[in-house]
Amino acid sequence: MSDNPYASSYGGQMNVSASYGGGAPAADDLIKDTTTANFARDVLEASRHQPVLVDFWAPWCGPCKQLQPVIEKVVRESAGRVKLVKLNIDDHPSIPGQLGIQSIPAVVAFVGGRPADGFMGAVPESQIRQFIDKIAGPADADEKAQIEALLAEAKTLFEAGDVAGAADLYGALLQADPENASALAGIAECMIAVGQHDNARQALANLPEAVAADPAVSAVLKKLDQIEEARKLGDPAALEHALAVNPDDHAARMKLAKIRNVEGDRQAAADHLLLIMKRDRSFEDDGARRELLQFFEVWGPMDPATIAARRKMSSILFS
């Protein structure tokens, strides 16, 4: 049984790194020895894809023996952010000679096929970590980029109608980061899409205050409130009939707008409220405008329906 509470309805747990083709490189791929003949391939060419640290050393060098296990440990823990290539200067003196290496241990970072930075001496582990952060970016930068890419992929799947695929990705993210507000909102949207409204509300219950206040989470909670309200508003066909008899039945039109909104017909929902605004701003103390603003919060500022309705609303307000 999956231990992912968010994936049980959608076919189980997915490993986050799996969608990126297997995660970090094996440790053996991160550290290697090189030669003069292979330096261009192992360092210059490789550094066009990720930073490469070159450790210039010699067997007789005591500080080199102190540095190597420390730098190898840090590189392995960097999970693929950098590679380490070691060059014995006794066996291969031409490269360090060309680079002006005059004392060892010396470490030079190559980026994009060129030397970018370096340090000399058996420096402490903390300084090596700072050096790698400077060359490759902070340790969490890649993780943040991966999370953003997964969120974008899940959103694309959801919008394409692949609710199960989107839920798998959101569930994987929540397995790694249970308080990720965007993933929480996303998994709740998936639950709403398959009619699991109570589960969606439960997924967003008892969250830390900062997470609950996130716009993505509050928008989904507001959407659940709108769905719950719409269930109590009556038969849309009867409301349509009431409007056919009396187009100025603003109460019926307001109810119908709320129903069309939860049905997903955003244009119809907005048009009903805009018509009320145009005919009677005093109805429910400008209630149509306030309701439309509530719709915008759920739809999001960049949704085409939001943009179109805002334009129409402005023309009514400022005409």
Q: ∠ at Cα 254 (295, 274), nearest 5°? A: 65
pLDDT tens for 154-194 read 999 998 999 998 999 999 888 878 889 999 999 999 999 89
Closest by CA position to 167, among listed 147, 183, 148: 183
Percent of the chain's residues with pLDDT above 70: 89
Do residues 251 and 277 touch, judged by C-beta distance below 8 A? no
* 232-243 average pLDDT score: 88
How confident is residue 60, by pLDDT bands cut at 50, 70 and 90? very high
Identify which has the larger pLDDT, 154 or 11.
154
What confidence score (pLDDT) does residue 141 get?
59
Is 64 a known active-site residue? yes
Q: Distance of CA 221 to CAs 184, 209, 217, Å?
A: 11, 14, 6
Average pLDDT value for the chain? 85
Find the catalytic residue in 7, 53, 61, 151: 61
* 14-27 average pLDDT score: 38
Q: ∠ at Cα 67 (63, 69), nearest 5°? A: 130
Is 61 a known active-site residue? yes
- The helices-and-strands tally (H runs, E runs) of the chain is 16, 5
Find the helix or strand (DSSP H, E) in which 308 lies: helix 304-317
Residues 6+ apart with CB under 8 A from 124: 70
CA dist 150 and 19 (Å) reads 8
pLDDT tens for 67-117 read 999 999 999 988 788 999 999 999 999 999 999 898 999 999 999 899 989
Q: What is the pTM of this model?
A: 0.50
Do residues 6 and 15 touch, judged by C-beta distance below 8 A? no
Find the catalytic residue in 30, 54, 64, 309: 64
pLDDT tens for 21-41 read 334 444 457 899 999 999 999
